[in-house]
Structure 1
Amino acid sequence: MTLAWYGHLKFMHDTPLWKAILFSWCIALLEYSFMIPATRLLSQTNWSLGQVKITQEVITLIVFTPFMIFLFKQPFKLDYLWAMCCLLGCIYFVFRSQ
């Protein structure tokens, strides 16, 4: 979803809005085609719905950080490292009760 939501800012900034929306929806459809089966498979394991969602969000943010730094040339901040530590805490707490 990262590319669908933010890719048009890099690759289609001079394109009319309707074309950017159509392009983003095409990418989102492809990404959803992978996410829906993955979510369904994880929900059939012994993971709770909360564990599936937290894992999905952590993966999204792990993908977004290099995307932001390398594609959009945003400077790395130490705060991103602290945020990652908080995400690791989320994973710990959501899986701790098993």
Structure 2
Amino acid sequence: MGLNFATLAPIGLLIASNVFMTFAWYGHLKIPGLALWVAVMTSWGIALFEYWLAVPANRIGYAVYTGAELKTIQEVISLSVFVLFAVFFLGERLTWNHGVGFLLIFGGAFFIFKGPLK
């Protein structure tokens, strides 16, 4: 699979969509006094932008990736974006347990892209 628009665009779009979605789902945690309904409506508004990026990413990407590969790309990007968000926005500290868990998830992604085992 060569590098072209259909292989690269979904990755870029999914990175951008995951930034929006991470803020939609978790950004309100920095404002604990915010009314729940305001947090929900704000998150919903942010998520609209996520959909405008994720849906085209999957439509474009399906020309070169399988559905399972697209979902795996999305999950790896989601986890990567969330780690950065948790550390730099929420101020959380990652532990070795997190690292081991993330490595296991990345290991699963490896097998999705490896192809059939013989």
Query: Which TM-score applies when normalising by structure 1?
Result: 0.88
Aligned-pair CA distance for 1:88: 2.2
- Aligned mate of 1:49, from 67, 71, 86: 67
Greater mean alpha carbon deviation, residues 83-92 or residues 70-79? 83-92
1:79 maps to 2:100: no
1:57-98 per-residue CA deviation (whole Å, 9 max, x = no partner) reads 110000001111121111120122222321221221101117
Percent sequence identity is 36
Q: Which amino acid counterpart does residue 94 of structure 2 have in structure 1?
A: F
Aligned-pair RMSD on alpha carbons? 1.4
Aligned-pair CA distance for 1:53: 0.4
Q: How many residues align?
A: 96
1:16-72 per-residue CA deviation (whole Å, 9 max, x = no partner) reads 211111110011001111111011111111x21111101101100000011111211
Task: List runs of 5+ in structure 2 lacking aligned partners.
Answer: 1-20
Task: List runs of 5+ in structure 1 lacking aligned partners.
Answer: none
Query: Which TM-score applies when normalising by structure 2?
Result: 0.75
